[in-house]
Amino acid sequence: MSRHRQPPPPRQPPADRAGRLRLRVNPITCDGHGLCAELLPELLSVDDWGYPSPIVAEVPAQLESHARRAAQQCPTLAIVLERRRPRRDGG
């Protein structure tokens, strides 16, 4: 059995490694200010009463920084960002 040092495996691109980011609005904490929908109109809109819709959304990589800003700016901190656990190498 060869004990020679193997070269390291090629690096995975960051998106696969890191897993998708998911944005969730806590509907109990949410007070319908609507900043999130203004900052992230691609993913969120408001309903007839000012509350965001939908309350769960997958965030594409290019919108991650916008999602973070929305989470930070929410007056009631109702936005939760979760990153899925990365898949192990080799699936």
Partner 1 sequence: MSAPTSHTGSGRRRRSWPDPRASGEWVAEPFPGQRAPVATPAAEITGEWPTGRWTGRPAAEPAHPAPDPAPAAGVPRLLAGVRRDGRPVSLAEHQRAHGPLPAARAFRLIAESGLRGRGGAGFPVEAKVRAVRAVRGKPVVVVNGVAGDPLGEKDTFLVSRLPHLVLDGAQVAAEAVEARQVTVYVVERPGLLELMERALAERRRAHLDEVPMKLVAAPDRYVAGESSATAQRLSGGPAVPVFRPPHIAERGVRGRPTLVQNVETLANLGLLARHGSGWFRRVGSPEEPGTLVLTVRGAVAQPAVVEVPVGATVEQALSAVGWLTEPVGAVLVGGCAGRWLPAKTALAAPLSHAGLAAVGGVLGAGIVIALPDRACGLDQTARLAQYLAGESAGQCGACLNGLPAIAGALTALATGKGDAGTVQRLHRWCSSVAGRGACAHPDGTTGLVASALEVFAEDVRRHLNGWCGRPLRGVLPVPEGRRARHRVGAR
Which stretches of the chain bind partner 1, using CB under 8 A?
26-34, 46-51, 53-55, 75
Contact 80, 71 (CB under 8 A): yes
CB of 15 to partner 1, least distance (A): 24
Closer by beta carbon to partner 1, 16 or else 31: 31
Contact 70, 39 (CB under 8 A): yes
Closer by beta carbon to partner 1, 18 or else 46: 46
CB of 77 to partner 1, least distance (A): 12
CB of 2 to partner 1, least distance (A): 40
Contact 87, 16 (CB under 8 A): yes
Contact 75, 66 (CB under 8 A): no
Closer by beta carbon to partner 1, 55 or else 63: 55
